[in-house]
Each structure stands twice: as structure tokens, then as C-alpha cells.
């Protein structure tokens, strides 16, 4: 089997630790039992120093033998397809899973990320608040009626949707019990806990290297 390498930064500030999107790829590998290694590119100078691998200077990107790809959603789809644990093999189950993966990125994260950027820029009552509330209410209604999004079981769609929804400010935006229970269900999974702990440890070790302790 070709070696899977998940690429992330060598260090990030404390705020994003536990939320850097390499976690999506670590999590899918843990769920599917795919062996992988994690390698790094420098955080400093990220705007220009690895554009050949990720044209926006971001992480994560993925190598799978000779194949290289960026965008966490694309990497997640690639890895999920290696096993039926995250990607159902039947056409209807696969279609529903892929549909909800795109919904997580294109209908939920495309609202939550700009809302969050405005919020941390100091615009507490920002212009995207109404849109954000509407999207989260819509997903709350869906999650009130089912345990998982597709195929009646945990799939790559839930991994991505839960990762989008668990961002602290998004999670704290209003009271949505079905969404909260869904995030808890997903993040209580041993594969998430391991992936999360290892990302946090990775950046903590980088602090120690920086300070020489």
C-alpha cells in the first residue's frame, strides 16, 4: 500500500489548535484504519513557501504515493473512498454521503467562516448574523429527525458536517439541542478523540522545540 502523508504546519498559535483542518484527514484515517504519517511545512512564510503543493499557502494537503492533492474536502473524499466504513458502496448511500459532504462545505461552512471572520474582526452584530441563524436552524431541523445525515449510519458526511459545526463560536451561536447532541455524538468517537489529541500534541511539541524546553 502506498504511504499516506498528511501535511500540516510545523506550528500554529494556540487559538486554532484542535481545529486545523488536517484534523479532518487524520480523523478519516483513524476511522477507516488507514496508516498515515504527518509531515510539516513552515507556518512562517506560508503565503509563499509551499505554493507548489497548496496554491493558497494553506494546509492541509495530502500525498498518497505519487498522487498529491489539496483541499480538505477533496482529501477526505479520496480517503473515504478507500473503505466502506466512511463511504457506503451502494449508489444511493454514496450519493447521499457526497451530497451532504458538499452541503457541509458549500451551504454551511460557506456561511460560518465569513460570519466568524467578521465576528473576530470586532463586528459582533455582523451583517451575516441572519443568514447564519437561518442556516443553523435549517440544519437543526434535519438533525432533529435523524441520528446521522446519510445511509442511516456515520459516514464521511457526518465527519465533515460535525467538524464544520463544532467550531466554538458557531457551536455557541444560539441554542440548538439536536445539533449539539450530533456534535457530541461525532466528537465522542474514539477516532476523533485520537486525531484531536494528536493534533494538539503535535503543536504543543512545536512550542517546546521553539523555546528549547
Ligand X SMILES: N[C@@H](CCC(=O)N[C@@H](CS)C(=O)NCC(=O)O)C(=O)O
- For ligand X, the nearest residue by Cβ is 58
Local structure of 13: helix, strand or coil:
coil
- Nearest distance, CB of residue 86 and ligand X, angstroms: 17
46 binds ligand X (CB under 6 A): yes
CA 56, CA 48: separation in Å to the nearest integer? 8
d(CA 117, CA 102): 21
For ligand X, the closer of residues 58 and 155 by Cβ is 58
- Strand intervals (E) in 27-177: 36-41, 61-64, 67-70
If binding is defined by CB under 6 A, does position 28 make contact with ligand X? no
Query: Residue from 10, 36, 40, 57 that binds ligand X (CB under 6 A)?
Result: 57
Q: Which helix (H) or strand (E) holds 129?
A: helix 129-144
**What torsion do the CA atoms of 130, 16, 102, 109 make, to the nearest 10 degrees?**
10
Binding of ligand X at residue 10 (CB under 6 A)?
Answer: no
| Inter-residue long-range contacts of 197-204, CB under 8 Å, 24+ positions, other chains counted | 198/26, 198/38, 199/8, 199/17, 199/18, 199/20, 199/22, 199/23, 199/26, 200/17, 200/18, 202/8, 202/38, 203/11, 203/12, 203/17, 203/20, 204/17
Residue whose CB is less far from ligand X, 21 or 119: 21
- Stretch in the footprint of ligand X (CB under 6 A) among 67-75, 116-124, 144-152, 198-206: 67-75
Q: Is 59 in the site for ligand X (CB under 6 A)?
A: yes
Q: Of 58, 63, 97, 112, which lies in the binding site for ligand X, with binding defined by CB under 6 A?
A: 58
Give the angle subtended at the CA of 91 by the CAs of 70 and 108, to the nearest 5°. 45
C-beta of 21 vs 26, nearer to ligand X: 21
Preceding amide of 60 cis, omega within 30 = yes
Q: Which stretch binds ligand X (CB under 6 A): 54-62, 94-102, 121-129, 151-159?
A: 54-62
Q: Taking CB under 6 A as the criterion, which residues in 131-160 touch ligand X?
A: none
CB of 90 to ligand X, least distance (A): 27
One of 4, 6, 7, 20 touching ligand X (CB under 6 A): 20
Per CB under 6 A, the list member of 72, 97, 179, 199 interacting with ligand X is 72
Helix H or strand E encompassing 170: helix 168-171
Please give the grid coordinates belonging to residue 84: 466502506
Q: What number of chain residues touch ligand X (CB under 6 A)?
A: 9
Q: What is the smallest separation between the CB atom of 212 and ligand X, expressed in angstroms?
A: 26
Residues that bind ligand X (CB under 6 A): 20-21, 46, 57-59, 71-73
Amino acid at each position: 500500500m502506498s504511504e499516506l502523508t498528511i501535511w500540516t504546519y510545523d506550528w500554529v498559535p494556540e487559538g486554532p489548535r484542535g481545529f486545523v483542518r488536517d484534523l479532518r484527514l487524520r480523523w478519516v484515517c483513524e476511522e477507516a484504519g488507514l496508516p498515515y504519517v504527518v509531515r510539516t511545512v513552515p507556518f512562517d512564510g506560508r503565503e509563499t513557501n509551499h505554493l507548489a503543493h497548496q496554491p493558497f499557502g494553506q494546509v492541509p494537503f495530502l500525498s498518497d504515493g505519487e498522487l498529491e492533492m489539496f483541499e480538505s474536502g477533496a482529501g477526505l473524499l479520496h480517503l473515504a473512498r478507500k473503505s466502506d466504513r466512511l463511504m457506503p458502496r451502494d449508489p444511493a448511500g454514496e450519493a447521499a454521503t457526497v451530497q451532504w459532504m458538499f452541503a457541509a462545505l458549500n451551504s454551511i461552512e460557506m456561511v460560518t467562516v465569513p460570519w466568524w471572520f467578521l465576528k473576530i474582526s470586532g463586528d459582533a452584530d455582523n451583517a451575516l448574523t441572519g443568514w447564519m441563524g437561518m442556516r443553523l436552524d435549517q440544519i437543526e431541523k434535519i438533525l432533529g429527525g435523524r441520528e446521522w445525515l446519510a445511509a442511516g449510519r456515520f459516514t464521511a458526511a457526518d465527519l465533515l458536517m460535525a467538524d464544520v459545526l463544532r467550531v466554538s463560536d458557531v457551536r455557541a451561536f444560539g441554542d440548538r439541542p439536536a445539533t449539539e447532541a450530533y456534535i457530541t455524538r461525532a466528537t465522542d468517537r474514539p477516532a476523533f478523540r485520537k486525531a484531536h489529541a494528536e493534533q494538539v500534541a503535535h503543536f504543543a511539541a512545536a512550542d517546546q522545540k521553539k523555546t528549547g524546553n
